[in-house]
Structure 1
Amino acid sequence: MSMQFNKWLFWNVLAISVFASWYLLPNHGLWMDIDKSIFYYFNNKIGSSEAWVNAVAIANNRAFDGVALLAMGVVYYSFYRGASEERKRQLLIVGFIMLLTAVGLNQLGRALPVERPSPTLTFDNVYRLTELAGFKTKDASGDSFPGDHGLMLMIFTAFVWRFLSWKAGLWGCLFVVLFSAPRVMAGAHWWSDIYVGGLAVACFGMAWLMHTGFYDVLIEKCDRYLPRFHRQKS
């Protein structure tokens, strides 16, 4: 196993520092000021624009989650389609491991000793998308920390940056911002749910799985023991 100690240490320190700066400070310190400012900025826009209500409500409909999945799939497939057969096999294995990682780290996030209702359930006299929009949408969560959408997108970003290219990684970073924003704009998540909670879990998990050599060994084992399917030549 190839241990990348400096990277492992950096991402662990970042994860612990970010989480501690939020968890240990009274009322979450500066993070709460940022959270409140961002929430009220978008909540006031919801109360002043019907077009904004519809746009944000659409982006928070469950069906819209498919847009994020499609975007990630397009990036991944763009590298897969032109690859050699051996590289395609590796990318399929990496994709499978990425899904397992997403499930595992999401459970790790749920295990954190934090139960935090979304801002729409915390503050009184605020605008609610579910009351203003004429169709089903989401604007609240009883336990919003860490932000699961942001966490999934960050895991995708880490994988494609490592196993595809830095350009794919930049697309992943863009997806984190774009596709986690609707939950924040609706008040279903605090900003820090994503950029503190999601980031801390992603950095901690990726440090241990990616920079200890664990993934390299796992990919090698999967490649060795999983069956190979060869196309029949016509």
Structure 2
Amino acid sequence: MSRLPTMAMLSLLGVALFISWYLPAHHGIWFTLDSRIYHAVNHQAVRHPQFADFLAITNNRIFDLGSLLTMGALYLRYFLRADAAGRHRMLAIVLALIITALVLNQLGHLVPVSHVSPSRYFKATPDVVSIAELTHIPTKEFSSDSFPGDHGMLLMIFAAFMLHYFGRRAFLQAVLIFLFFSAAVAMRW
């Protein structure tokens, strides 16, 4: 059975989502949604020091390494179960995954959109508190260009490769990894 119709539909959905964000003045409803989520998370960090610590930890570069190691652990599990021919095939798959991620990352930076991180955008808002003021954990607070997000894109590419080459079970595991690390990255300041 051909996956072409599904791929075309999902691609069109992605383009429609992008257009719904890109075309309206000030990004329409997406800006309102982003602003409300950002302010809600910021206020929770102020009220709950443990949550502020969690945000600081997930904004640390070492946390980024955690997502890479988690993806690697899932891939390694399938790699160790494979025979010699399967392992050679899997090395080619991981090489294709890396090349795909690098190419798509570079293409993503060609999109004529620059979007600073919410922490930089809302920095001057009087009711916003910096994570550095709430915790002493080293953290990355700002990003000058957070669209498209490198971390989310890599996690999606990984999930797509797991679905294509290893089936639904591997895909569901990769989606869980994607959801956890994307949610953590999305709360980045």
TM, length-normalised to structure 1: 0.75
Which residue of the partner structure matches residue 170 of structure 1? 172
Shift of 1:4: 4.8
DSSP-derived class of the 1:88 partner: helix
Shift of 1:91: 0.7
Per-residue CA shift, 1:209-234, capped at 9, x if unaligned? xxxxxxxxxxxxxxxxxxxxxxxxxx
Shift of 1:132: 2.5
Amino acid at match of 1:41: A
Amino acid at match of 1:176: F
Matches within 5 A, 1:1-234: 4-123=3-122, 124-125=125-126, 126-187=128-189
DSSP-derived class of the 1:136 partner: coil
DSSP-derived class of the 1:81 partner: helix
Shift of 1:111: 0.9
Give the conservation status (yes or no) of the 8 Å contact 2:67–2:181: yes
Give the conservation status (yes or no) of the 8 Å contact 2:55–2:187: yes
Give the conservation status (yes or no) of the 8 Å contact 2:59–2:185: yes
Give the conservation status (yes or no) of the 8 Å contact 1:154–1:176: yes
DSSP-derived class of the 1:142 partner: coil
By relative contact order (CA 8 Å, sep 6+), the higher-ranking structure is 1
Structure 1 gaps of 5+ residues are 188-234
2: CA distance between counterparts of 1:186 and 1:14? Answer: 26
2: CA distance between counterparts of 1:56 and 1:5? Answer: 40
Pairs aligned (count): 186
Per-residue CA shift, 1:29-55, capped at 9, x if unaligned? 221122112111111011112211112
Q: Looking at CA atoms only, which structure, 1 or 2, has the larger radius of gyration?
A: 1
Shift of 1:81: 0.7
1: CA distance between counterparts of 2:177 and 2:37? Answer: 19
Amino acid at match of 1:174: L
Computed over aligned residues only, the root mean square deviation of the Cα atoms, in angstroms, reads 1.7
DSSP-derived class of the 2:43 partner: helix
1: CA distance between counterparts of 2:155 and 2:45? Answer: 26
Give the conservation status (yes or no) of the 8 Å contact 1:121–1:140: yes
Give the conservation status (yes or no) of the 8 Å contact 1:139–1:183: no
1: CA distance between counterparts of 2:29 and 2:114? Answer: 19
Q: Which runs of structure 1 show a deviation greater than 3 angstroms over 4 or more consecutive aligned residues?
A: none
Give the conservation status (yes or no) of the 8 Å contact 1:43–1:186: no
2: CA distance between counterparts of 1:183 and 1:66? Answer: 12
1: CA distance between counterparts of 2:120 and 2:176? Answer: 29
1: CA distance between counterparts of 2:17 and 2:71? Answer: 27
Amino acid at match of 2:11: N
Amino acid at match of 1:100: I
2: CA distance between counterparts of 1:11 and 1:88? Answer: 31
Structure 2 gaps of 5+ residues are none
